[in-house]
Chain A
Amino acid sequence: MTEPWMIAGAWLAAGLTIFLFSFLYRDNPFFKIAEHLYLGAGMGWWFQVYMFNIWKPKVWEPLMAHQWGVIIPAVLGLSLVTQFIPKISWLSRYGFTFLMGYGAGLAVPAGLSTDFMNQIAGTIRPFSALASMTPFAIFNSLLIALGVVCVLFYFFFSVEHKGSVKKVSNVGIYFLMVYFGAAFGNTVMARFSLLYGRFDDLASFSSRGSFYATQIILAVMVLYFLVTGFTKKPQQGEEEAH
């Protein structure tokens, strides 16, 4: 790809980015176009990845080499698509059950070992090394154990929660709240990082090398909103409607 193509790319990317952001001000046709392009482009990308990474090398080429074994999974796979044809949609069950049986069979023992046994072991193991632990570490290990039990109790539905039982489950809620708080704080950071990523790209498209793509497109969008803002009165409540 040559230099003019790269500049065109910068304009295109800056344009699409700003179109999507323009939704924050108000819904508009540019946003809608970009949004629909996104749906199609995502599918298109996936389609070509599947085509060149799996369908061609794993199905087509073996068939051409007369390795007939791949017919079975290919037919099972194609059976999934019959879902859209009501009359023979039951065929898709063959594919689905094949996928689900395998997935479920793998998940059961792995779930028991990873999320059940290992978690119990992780909670109690620190207590086998009590002698070498600082008081603070012992306190932390106890706190984890206590927290786990209380949280589990909060989610225990077989007894009525009242009296001292309720107190235990209340303690559990506070552990959950700390976890949710941590999740909230981290989510803020994650979302800002993504926005930073876009702004960083926009900043690079605003350079002279890209012929000020960002600035010009931004100016055009502002102009568009000014013009449409004057020509048609926004409906009541529309500003809330994003």
Chain B
Amino acid sequence: MKFIKKHIPLLIVLVVGVLTLASYYVPNKYSVDYLELMNKWENIVSAFAFLLGLISLFYSHYNKIKRKTDGWGYSLFVYVGFLAMVVPALMNGGRQMVDGQVTSLGWSFRYIYNALSATMFAVLAFYIVSTAYRSFRIKSAQAFVLFVAAFILILGKVPLGQIIWDSVLGWTHTGIDQVIEWIMSVPAVAGKRGIMIGIAIGAVVTSLKIIFGIERQYMGRD
């Protein structure tokens, strides 16, 4: 049983991993055929991974309703929202437009999903201003450098800021857009590249660990 439960999955990850890895260095027909088969299969397998999120969302809200926990009534709206998308989709075969006319699916997307999803993240704009006021502390030389870079970018990205810069620092004959260009293409590149290289090696190591079965947390517990 241990063989089926543990060793075969580890064998799958090893074989698929090594073959896929090798396909980078082996260009011939067999390698291409292997990759093509895998690509098509991975596409389908991943499509089922979506069900994981769906089921766990449904399950957790079903539990809330069943146990009548605080605010269980709101959980009903999760199902309402779901049906508001799926029912129109079934009615129209997944089409948002038919003969230049928006279908009920297109309507649901535009007026429900679009409004909700976009607003959820737009709310953050308010928090960023209050953070700027209440917790942006220039408490060290490092924070000061951070502040200066942020200041220049916030100012220089809008035309009004450019006008202000030109009227105060116009004598330098350096536009704020040039300063931004420099920040983004010189020191920021150095900073990001330094972070990136370490992370990239970390990711390579993690991937190797996965292929060789050393890292298997994603497999869940025995």
Contacts and interface: CB of A to CB of B under 8 A. Distances in A.
A59 to B, nearest CB: 6
Nearest to B211: A104
A104 B47 contact: no
B81 A38 contact: yes
Candidate in A41, A152, A197 with the most chain B CB atoms within 10 angstroms: A41
B115 A174 contact: no
B93 A101 contact: no
A37 B191 contact: no
Contacts of B119: 16-17, 20-21, 198
Interface in B55-104: 55-57, 59, 61, 71, 74-86, 89-90, 93-94, 101-104
A102 to B, nearest CB: 5
- A-B pairs, top 3 by smallest CB distance, nearest first, are A147-B190, A181-B149, A151-B194
A106 interface: yes
A114 B199 CA distance: 12
Interface in A123-182: 123, 140, 143-148, 150-152, 154-155, 172-182
Interface in B94-134: 94, 101-126, 128, 132
Nearest to B186: A140
B163 interface: no
B38 interface: yes
A interface secondary structure, majority: helix
A66 interface: no
A107 B207 contact: yes
B8 A177 contact: no
11 contacts: A1-B104, A20-B116, A45-B85, A48-B89, A90-B4, A90-B6, A95-B49, A177-B142, A182-B184, A188-B132, A194-B122
B151 A185 contact: yes
B192 interface: yes
Interface string B37-59: 01011111111111111111101
A241 B201 CA distance: 41
Given A83-B52, A107-B207, A144-B190, A48 B94 contact: yes
A47 B206 CA distance: 31
Interface string A9-48: 1101110110011011000010011111111111111111
Nearest to B75: A36
Interface of A: 1, 5, 8-10, 12-14, 16-17, 20-21, 23-24, 29, 32-55, 58-59, 70, 72-74, 76-78, 80-81, 83-84, 89-90, 92-112, 114-116, 119, 122-123, 140, 143-148, 150-152, 154-155, 172-182, 184-189, 191-192, 194-195, 197-198, 201
A132 B185 CA distance: 19
A43 B82 contact: yes
B20 A44 contact: no
A90 B122 CA distance: 41
Contacts of A119: 193, 196-197
Given A40-B79, A81-B55, A76 B45 contact: yes
Given A77-B47, A84-B59, A102 B52 contact: no
Given A10-B111, A147-B187, A179-B188, A95 B45 contact: yes
B220 interface: yes
A74 to B, nearest CB: 6
A176 to B, nearest CB: 5
Contacts of B74: 29, 32-33, 35-36
A98 B207 contact: no
B204 interface: yes
A23 B123 contact: yes
A9 B89 contact: no
Contacts of B93: 52
Contact of A175 (B53, B126, B191): B191
B15 A101 contact: yes
Interface string B4-18: 111011101111111
Contact of A16 (B86, B115, B151, B210): B115
Contact of B80 (A8, A37, A72, A98): A37
A104 B207 contact: yes
A194 B219 contact: no
Contacts of B114: 13
Contacts of B94: 48-49, 51-53
